[in-house]
Amino acid sequence: MNRFREEIEEEETGPEPELKAVPKKPKTAEEKMDSNSFISKLFNDGLVSKEAATDALPYLCFLAFLGMVYIANSHFAVNNVRRIDKLNKEVKELRWEYKSLKADLMFKSKLTEVAKKVDTLGIKELIEPPKKIIVKSDEY
């Protein structure tokens, strides 16, 4: 049927071997040094000497400076993007305000609306067209 299950069952039913506990030894100073062996070999065995490390120090300082400039530039760019988004939103709001004020002004400047406003002052709309005054050049 399922031969893998049979194999697992056989392994489980078999005698278990006895495990002997091995006592752990406390780490000596040399064994602790081995955990840092890479670092100790790097500096003590001459892979990187003190002179080479001091010679590379200006280059490392320059790289650190470039990293700080890169981070500052990204912060400046993010701030600029935020400022641009804020100004775009403000421009949209002002554009809508301009359009609504313009529509309101166009409505209030219609002849009928003006006539309603000045009717309270006693001024009425002209029924006959205005007369044109012509002045001859020799009369004046």
- pLDDT, tens digit (0-9, with 9 covering 90-100), for 8-57: 666 666 555 565 655 666 656 555 555 567 777 766 666 677 787 788 89
pLDDT digits 0-9 by tens, 84-109: 999 999 999 999 999 999 999 999 99
**What is the structure's pLDDT at 123?**
86
pLDDT of 30 reads 56
The pTM of the full predicted model, rounded to 2 decimals, is 0.47
Residue 38 Ramachandran class (φ > 0 left, ψ -120 to 50 alpha, else beta) = alpha
